[in-house]
Amino acid sequence: MPLTHWLGVDTGGTFTDFVLLGDGEPRIHKVLSTPSAPEQAILQGIRELGLTSAMADGALAIVHGTTVATNAALEGKGAHTVFVTNAGIEDMLRIGRQNRAELYNLTPAPANPTLTQLPCEGVQCRLDSEGNIIQPLSDTALEDLIDRIQALQPESVAICLLFAYLNGQQEQRIADALEQSGLTVSTSHRIIPTRGEYERGMATWLNAWLSPKVAAYLQRLENATAPAPLAIMQSNGGTIAANQARELAVNLLLSGPAGGLAAAQRLGEQLQQRRLMTFDMGGTSTDVALLDGEIRLTQHGHIGPYPVAVPMVDMHTIGAGGGSLAYVDEAGLLHVGPESAGADPGPASYGRGGRQVTVTDANVVLGRLQPDFALGGSLTLDVAAAEQAMATLGSQLGMDAQAAAEGVLALANEHMTQALRVISIQKGHDPEDFALMSFGGAGGLHVCALADNLGMHRAIVPQRAGVLSAEGLVYAPRKRELLKALPPALSDSTCQNEILTLQQQGLSELQAEGVPSGQVHFQVYLDMCYRGQSSVLQIPWHDDSNARVQAFHRAHEQRFGHRLGLPVQQVNLRVQCLAEQHTPAPPTLPEQEGTAVRHAKLPGIASKVRIYQRSDLGSNQRLSGPALIVEAVGTTWLAPGWTTQVSPQGHLLLERQISNP
């Protein structure tokens, strides 16, 4: 049966979000997450949306952003894993790069117990720096290694040998022997075939450590949703079939947040505003990223204390959200975050026993969250409780509740502004050249203030911004990113042959998911650096080698402010294989003029503020601040000095008015 419905499912810590396409206007749904078994919340949502029969007929395509790998890594709940490497360097992961988190602390906290207690086994074999065998893996050494590993009774094994990215034969021989014993095995030459034994070893260990739990979860979800096709969002902004994702857990560590960036990229192309800075503000944290025509990827990401060298969206996260707690320290200074009130008891305004002030409470006190419009009216806000908590905080600061609320918001906004500076100014980009796109449940309340702080003149609040990450999952392309380490001296013709080989490999993998070959297109990049550097910059492939070198010089100068007179070398070849999703476009808005449903007096605002239901606004309608635009999944505060125009698709296109000198 042909596909008729497309469902994006984003599992969060409190809610699991659903966005359904295929029935005209997209449908939004939320259910409480079930962290111990996330598939239960997903199946509940499918039932409540009336999609059980479509799922059983295979007419429903499901795309899922999962936090199972992320949570397992952060909570230290991976599988019992053995790490295998060359004899003599068994402490590779424990030593790392010898960086110290607290340089001048003479009594630092103990190292991560997960790594200090990790069983590591060495094997007698060795390759040289060009991938040639200088010490063969003998049958005796292999048998001895297998016996030692089996005595440890692991659930999973990670194998990372020196220079295996140039020659994976020895790793594969060990893996074949272990798999015959029924063990799950991850090899570095398949997970991340690039230089840097520590980063490569960490990625391989993370994959082995997390894969059993991820595979078990995805298998349960596949069984429950069959025969509906199930795809999983990867950290690189593309999707992969669930049966292939089971063995690639390390590629799912930013599965959920990547969905929001996929939606932002598509929306930017639709609005012809491809240069975007995004911020996704939830209850506990805020994720910020920069899109310059495409989603920017990094190989220097982190999850908790672990470096992750596989490609993932370049995102910066801070502990500032709607539930971030505000408090006064012993010196009388105000702080906001990173601690959060969570969902229970939550902010004081939730009326569940919370007594400490949060960012949400500050918005309530200042009237920007109206009690009868919060979350579409499904959540009753206790304004009196918020005001009482804010008055208590204000008394510690020697000010009234309104001034304290303004201080809480100013400080929270500064934290988020600084995060946006990290991904823009610190990387050579001028924020004024970009539009600021906000999403997440709390983003619309802060978008104007952040744009003002950064000197930005344009901002966007998408339609269904509160569940944009779930919607972006449906739009994300099917994607493979294949990597090949390059020898120092490689001819262009040989490099072209390697490109064709990687393209064919990616095409075969996508065809195995049912993607027609005519829908696949390729993007080719080179990782390049000055000779002697350990870090690389990613440069688009060009047939002219001199053009590639000049592009690297320009990229280095933009990123670091200078270029060097050193030889440039090619380190890795990257081939992205993509197949765009062709989902039905949501209908456009009618031409109408929505009127304010109410006028309210807000603290600190001289005139009454108009309050609009976003669903009443028509295509091309214009509004001027101050105004509140409310919807079921969020509220937008259109600050004084800002105007907005409603796009035909329902997105709010904000502009800052320029005052005459």
> In the block, which residue shows the tokens 């901002």?
459
In a domain, 322, yes or no: no
Which amino acid, 627? A
In a domain, 51, yes or no: yes
Q: Look at residues 202, 204, 211 and name the one whose alpha carbon lies nearest to residue 72.
A: 211
* Res 227: pLDDT: 93
Question: What is the C-alpha to C-alpha distance for residues 513 and 134, in angstroms, rounded to an integer?
Answer: 40
Q: Is there a single domain that holds both residue 180 and residue 63?
A: no
Which pTM value belongs to this model?
A: 0.85
> In the block, which residue shows the tokens 């809610």?
15
By the 8 A CB rule, do 3 and 61 touch? yes
Residues 6+ apart with CB under 8 A from 427: 290, 559
10 Å CB burial of residue 546 (0-12, 13-18, 19+) is exposed
Q: Look at residues 7, 47, 53 and name the one whose alpha carbon lies nearest to residue 27.
A: 7
Q: Is there a single domain that holds both residue 68 and residue 83?
A: no
In a domain, 617, yes or no: no
Q: Is there a single domain that holds both residue 106 and residue 187?
A: yes
Q: What share of the chain is helix, strand, coil (3-state, %, to 5)?
A: 35, 25, 40
Tokens of 247: 């063995």
Q: Give the three-class secondary structure for 606.
A: coil
SS (H, E, C) 195-255: CCHHHHHHHHHHHHHHHHHHHHHHHHHHHHHCCCCEEEECCCCCEEEHHHHCCCHHHHCCH
Q: Is there a single domain that holds both residue 64 and residue 187?
A: no
Tokens of 31: 């259910």
Write down which residue in 562, 579, 596 finishes a domain. Answer: 579
Owning domain of residue 27: 5-73+215-255
* Res 196: pLDDT: 87
Q: How far is CA 365 from CA 154, 283, 334, 344, 349, in A?
A: 55, 18, 17, 20, 9
Q: Give the three-class secondary structure for 131.
A: coil
In a domain, 468, yes or no: no
Question: What is the C-alpha to C-alpha distance for residues 436 and 415, in angstroms, rounded to an integer?
Answer: 16
Mean pLDDT by 10 residues, the chain (661 residues): 85 83 85 86 93 91 91 87 96 84 80 86 93 94 95 96 94 94 92 91 95 94 93 93 91 88 90 92 85 85 85 85 89 89 80 88 93 64 93 94 95 94 91 94 93 96 90 91 82 88 93 88 93 88 90 91 91 91 81 91 91 94 94 90 94 83 42
Tokens of 625: 């601040």
By the 8 A CB rule, do 317 and 333 touch? no
Write down which residue in 548, 579, 610 finishes a domain. Answer: 579
By the 8 A CB rule, do 218 and 242 touch? yes
Overall domain count for the chain: 3
Question: What CATH code is carried by the domain that includes residue 94?
Answer: 3.40.50
Tokens of 15: 């809610």
* Res 376: pLDDT: 46
Q: Look at residues 354, 351, 327, 353 and name the one whose alpha carbon lies nearest to residue 339.
A: 327
Residues 6+ apart with CB under 8 A from 591: 618, 619, 620
Q: Is there a single domain that holds both residue 137 and residue 206?
A: yes
Q: Look at residues 400, 393, 371, 373 and name the one whose alpha carbon lies nearest to residue 383.
A: 371
In a domain, 446, yes or no: no
Q: Look at residues 484, 477, 482, 483 and name the one whose alpha carbon lies nearest to residue 513.
A: 477
Question: What is the C-alpha to C-alpha distance for residues 30 and 15, in angstroms, rounded to an integer?
Answer: 6
Per-residue burial over 96-112, b if 16 or more Cβ lie within 10 Å, else e, is: beeeeeeeeeeeeeeeb
Parallel, antiparallel, or unpaired for β 652-656 and 120-123? Answer: unpaired
Q: Is there a single domain that holds both residue 103 and residue 201?
A: yes
Question: What is the C-alpha to C-alpha distance for residues 547 and 528, in angstroms, rounded to an integer?
Answer: 13
In a domain, 375, yes or no: no
* Res 343: pLDDT: 64
Q: How far is CA 413 from CA 73, 159, 382, 445, 566, in A?
A: 29, 45, 24, 10, 42
Question: What CATH code is carried by the domain that includes residue 550?
Answer: 3.30.1490
Q: Is there a single domain that holds both residue 170 and residue 116?
A: yes
Question: What is the C-alpha to C-alpha distance for residues 406 and 362, in angstroms, rounded to an integer?
Answer: 7
* Res 95: pLDDT: 86
* DSSP line for 556-579: HHHHHS---SS-EEEEEEEEEEEE
Q: Is there a single domain that holds both residue 90 and residue 204?
A: yes
Q: Is there a single domain that holds both residue 62 and residue 83?
A: no
By the 8 A CB rule, do 354 and 341 touch? yes
Tokens of 236: 């690189």
Q: How many degrees, rounded to 5, is the angle at CA 28 between CA 23 and CA 34? A: 125
Q: Quick one: how far is CA 107 from the chain centroid?
A: 34
In a domain, 225, yes or no: yes
Q: Give the three-class secondary structure for 586.
A: coil
* Res 374: pLDDT: 59
* Res 67: pLDDT: 85
Tokens of 207: 């994959």
Q: Is there a single domain that holds both residue 158 and residue 86?
A: yes
Q: Give the three-class secondary structure for 57.
A: coil
* Res 81: pLDDT: 96
Question: What is the number of alpha carbons within 13 Å of residue 606 lying toward its C-beta?
Answer: 1
Question: What CATH code is carried by the domain that includes residue 24?
Answer: 3.30.420.40
> In the block, which residue shows the tokens 């059983």?
56
* Res 295: pLDDT: 86
* Res 661: pLDDT: 42
Tokens of 510: 């996508």
Question: What is the C-alpha to C-alpha distance for residues 536 and 486, in angstroms, rounded to an integer?
Answer: 13
Q: Is there a single domain that holds both residue 47 and residue 130?
A: no
In a domain, 368, yes or no: no
Q: Give the three-class secondary structure for 101.
A: coil
* Res 444: pLDDT: 93
Upstream peptide bond of 345 is cis (omega within 30 degrees of 0): yes
Q: Is there a single domain that holds both residue 199 and residue 90?
A: yes
Parallel, antiparallel, or unpaired for β 126-127 and 133-135? Answer: antiparallel
